[in-house]
Amino acid sequence: MAAPGSLERRLSVHQTGADDDLDALSRPILTRRKDFIDKDEEARKSPNRVLYFRRNADYDRLIEACGRKLRDNPRNVRALLIRASSYSKKGALQEALDDYGAVLRLEPRSVDALYHRGALHEKLGGLDDAIRDFSAVLTLDPNHVKAGYARGACRNLKGDFFEAIEDYRYALERDRKPQKARRPSLREGLLSRGALPSGMGSLTISTANSVTTSSEFGSGLASGREDGAALISGGQPLPGGILSSSSSSGHPRPRPGQQQQQQQQQQHHHQQQRRPSNGHARDGGGGDSVLWSNQAFDSARAAPHDCGSPTCSSPHMSRDASYANLAGATAAQLLPGAASAAAAAAAAAAAAAAAAAAAAAAGGSSGFSSGALGQVPHHQQQQRQQHQQQQQQQQQPQQPQQQQQQQQQRGVDPATRSKLAEQHHARGYAARKQGRFDVAVEEYSRTLALEPGHFKALFNRGFSYDKLGQYALAVSDYSAALELCPDNSFALYNRGITKDRMGDYPGAVDDFTAAAALDPTNADFYHNRGFSLRKQGRFEAAILDYTRAIELNPGHCRAYYNRAFSRDRLGRCEEAIADYTQALEIEPGNPAALHNRGSLYERLGRLQEALVDFDQAVAMDASSALSYSSRALLLERLGRPDRALPDHDRALALEPANSAYLKHRGLCCRTLGQYAAAIADFTRLIDLLPDDASGYSNRGYAYRKLGNYTAAVDDYTAAIARCGSTVRLHNNRAYCLAKLGSYQEAIQDYSSVLEIDAANVHAFHNRGISYDKLGLFEQAVADFNTVIEMEPTNSVAYFNRGSTFDSMGAHDQAVADFGRALELDPGARTPDPAAGDGAQEQL
């Protein structure tokens, strides 16, 4: 019989409880290691220790025992809690949920039951139910840190990002207060990752919308991924240039012979504009989001002087300002037979202004303010000097052959000259309809050599220059035409379009305003003015113009689409969704509108509606890498990474060098546990972005999960060299060093963490373990003491300090610490630090 006060008696004290058989089965027993060293694998792991915890029963036996108790007494709360915990650990989540529900019917204010039921709701996808349970926990115990983190994770998954941030902030504030009670599980201890719920690792936010770059919406919320970057989920929108090419706002439709050619031109332009680089839709100030109605003159409009050539369909508006390097030469300088001297002077002034605007805009920025254009970069100044040299060359005396030809043409009688001019103009029109704009320019120039005041030739040559990307020359011709016919609204309108393409947004607004003053019933004039206003960041004014265009033409699809963009930028998401919906009623097969509406749905947390839109977008446009990537990120948010991976594959098949898509797929593979595939993607990412620390950090994580700690240490070291010291990187490298047995180096990393964050509990705890491994027991006890001072209810710290006392031979202190650990967390599986259990990394 054991003597009073003997070790055997002290051990037996911890084996009794109120519900004897259940408690005995559910809690591990503190036993002598030597008594079981030939029977139990756990006992053999560290023969130099005297004590270890031994489990009495597996989960099935516990569930069976609890069932017997509940048949005798259905109101046995202890049995319900133990059985619920056992079901949960087995993965029988619905059964566990039922048991926690039964507990709460008996004890509605049970914090433990509410918290664990909330965690089960979250795992089963019942986010609203989980939030209700976590909220109830926080009402009963405002300092319940885990409930704060968990509710934040659920709100994040629902898309309620601001509320999620507030929950995380609330939890972090209390997590740093040592006097507040916490109940960390024994499983959290030792080189621990921290007590964040699983949802923290999936915080994502849509970084952009409509037709904007990711930078326009900032970097988003921190995702909790190892790269600290947000997933990119539905955030980059498609270029909107695939909208309808005409708004039917009073403009005649293309003739049957023209329509096929126009569609071919548009399709070619779609293919060039559709795929943004690096996963971002180019806005360039917004230029790719609409089709413009740049018109050649048409006699059907009853324009002055019977200026006729049938209109062409509205082309896409190209954003490439580099074509402006041809600016600076006027029609009078370049070609024989310029218009009047006044028109030539006006053309020269317009060309000079346009060249300056184009040079300032050539950088492809996302928009200009309504003020003056910025300073011209050095390389653009060089281009301007080249243009001036070209102009000087073009101003040299004409060749004798050209002079002779002009003299011969002037020698014919006026009627013959007029007939020849019309013949050249007709040839120019035919060449333009065939898309041969260079030939059209030559023929229109011959017309002007015969009749310098030929309004149609000036107008249509301006149109052809615009199609060739020679925007300064186009502005020159439109300006010369307006010298001849100042009240021609379409010359103003087309000049406004060309100025917008050159980045002269204020000048474009002025021209559209003048056109609207001449013809206030033309919806396109207001729409395009709104477009130029939008690119100056004047979204409210743009919305007014789009609204006016819709009033004049309720079927104006582009006006709805671009008003949606502006409302989105102002944070009026519901109104933007309504506009995209209206645009889709007018044009149901528009993948850009579907994609952008899906992005808005995702941002508002309406994930199923977002998924429907992304599904339709990829069904209508299978070449859109961005839509595949956005749908993949959304599927991950919905907890379906297995379904997301094929979409990541398709996005990369379409854009193999897209670094964002590589990172997304690598993270998805990591989530699925496909670490070798993740390493391959992060290696490609590093090849593309060798200075990006996130590639090394994420690859280090994958190496670590495969047990390749040496490679992981190398990658974490490379990441630190690129982004500097961070708590996460030093903690994770220390973990790998400890796994390699390099405890002294691990201690140095944990000490670096404490230099950055002197209150980092994990670093104290894990450094204590490394000290213990080196036999520096006094230092280990000191670190565990610090942890317990900061977190008095940290059961893991008591257990680890008890283990160190055990190694020091201080068995009474060891027993006391082990007993305290069991009091704080009686049902948890106890890690064995001697065997390396619980040596976890911080993510």
Per-residue pLDDT at 160 exceeds 60: yes
Task: Give the other-Cβ count within 10 Å of 178's Cβ.
Answer: 17
φ, ψ (nearest 5 deg) of residue 316? -65, 150
Mean pLDDT of 680-705: 97
Mean pLDDT of 240-255: 34
User: 211 with 289: CB under 8 angstroms?
Assistant: yes
pLDDT band at 165 (very low <50, low <70, confident <90, very high): confident
User: Mind spelling out the 3-state secondary structure of 217-256?
Assistant: HCCCCCCCCCCCCCEECCCCCCCCCCCCCCCCCCCCCCCH
Per-residue pLDDT at 255 exceeds 70: no
> What is the token pair recorded at 175?
């997590």
Mean pLDDT of 440-469: 96
Who wins on pLDDT, 252 or 139? 139
Who wins on pLDDT, 32 or 581? 581
pLDDT of the residue at 436: 95
Per-residue pLDDT at 834 exceeds 50: no
φ, ψ (nearest 5 deg) of residue 31? -130, 165
Q: What is the distance between the alpha carbons of residues 497 and 512, in angstroms, rounded to a whole number? A: 8
Q: What is the distance between the alpha carbons of residues 666 and 658, in angstroms, rounded to a whole number? A: 12
In a domain, 84, yes or no: yes
In a domain, 778, yes or no: no
Q: What is the distance between the alpha carbons of residues 680 and 652, in angstroms, rounded to a whole number? A: 13
User: Mind spelling out the 3-state secondary structure of 391-439?
Assistant: HHHHCCCCCHHHHHHHHHHHHCCHHHHHHHHHHHHHHHHHHHHCCCHHH
Q: Which of 162, 184, 202 is the last residue of a domain?
A: 202
Distance in Å from the first CA to the final CA of the chain: 50
pLDDT of the residue at 90: 86
> What is the token pair recorded at 453?
């005041």
pLDDT of the residue at 231: 29
Per-residue pLDDT at 134 exceeds 90: yes
pLDDT band at 170 (very low <50, low <70, confident <90, very high): confident
Mean pLDDT of 391-411: 51
pLDDT of the residue at 204: 24
Q: Where are the alpha helices (DSSP H) in 485-624?
A: 489-501, 505-518, 523-534, 539-552, 557-569, 573-586, 591-603, 607-620
Mean pLDDT of 59-84: 90
In a domain, 364, yes or no: yes
Per-residue pLDDT at 613 exceeds 80: yes
Distances from the Cα of 842 to the Cαs of 123, 591, 667, 728, 754, in angstroms? 22, 42, 17, 7, 14
Closest CA to 610 of 636, 581, 584, 631: 631
pLDDT tens for residues 639-659? 999 999 999 999 999 999 999
pLDDT tens for residues 763-814? 999 999 999 999 999 999 999 999 999 999 999 999 999 999 999 999 999 9
The SS3 assignment for 30 reads strand
Who wins on pLDDT, 122 or 5? 122
In a domain, 588, yes or no: no
Least confident segment among 61-70, 359-368, 452-461, 627-636: 359-368
Least confident segment among 342-351, 443-452, 636-645: 342-351
Calculate the average pLDDT of the chain. 75
One domain, residues 196 and 316: no
Per-residue pLDDT at 50 exceeds 50: yes
Per-residue pLDDT at 474 exceeds 50: yes
Q: What CATH number is given to the structural domain containing 504?
A: 1.25.40.10
pLDDT of the residue at 54: 64
In a domain, 324, yes or no: yes
pLDDT of the residue at 205: 25
One domain, residues 341 and 194: no
One domain, residues 198 and 325: no
One domain, residues 198 and 307: no
In a domain, 45, yes or no: no
Its pTM stands at: 0.56
**Percent of residues, the chain, with pLDDT higher than 90:** 57
pLDDT band at 611 (very low <50, low <70, confident <90, very high): very high
Q: Which domain holds residue 96?
A: 60-202
One domain, residues 369 and 485: yes
One domain, residues 198 and 315: no
Mean pLDDT of 689-711: 96
Per-residue pLDDT at 468 exceeds 70: yes
Mean pLDDT of 273-287: 34
One domain, residues 181 and 321: no
> What is the token pair recorded at 727?
């708590």
Per-residue pLDDT at 843 exceeds 60: no
How many structural domains comprise the chain? 2
pLDDT of the residue at 53: 62
pLDDT tens for residues 534-579? 999 999 999 999 999 999 999 999 999 999 999 999 999 999 999 9
In a domain, 267, yes or no: no
Least confident segment among 62-76, 438-452, 754-768: 62-76
One domain, residues 65 and 197: yes
Q: Which of 163, 187, 202 is the last residue of a domain?
A: 202
pLDDT band at 827 (very low <50, low <70, confident <90, very high): low
Q: Which of 149, 181, 202 is the last residue of a domain?
A: 202
pLDDT band at 224 (very low <50, low <70, confident <90, very high): very low
Q: Which of 271-275, 526-530, 817-821 has the highest mean pLDDT?
A: 526-530
Q: Which of 132-146, 190-204, 233-247, 299-313 has the highest mean pLDDT?
A: 132-146
Closest CA to 49 of 810, 837, 738, 827: 810
Per-residue pLDDT at 674 exceeds 60: yes
In a domain, 629, yes or no: no
Per-residue pLDDT at 195 exceeds 80: no
φ, ψ (nearest 5 deg) of residue 52? -160, 160
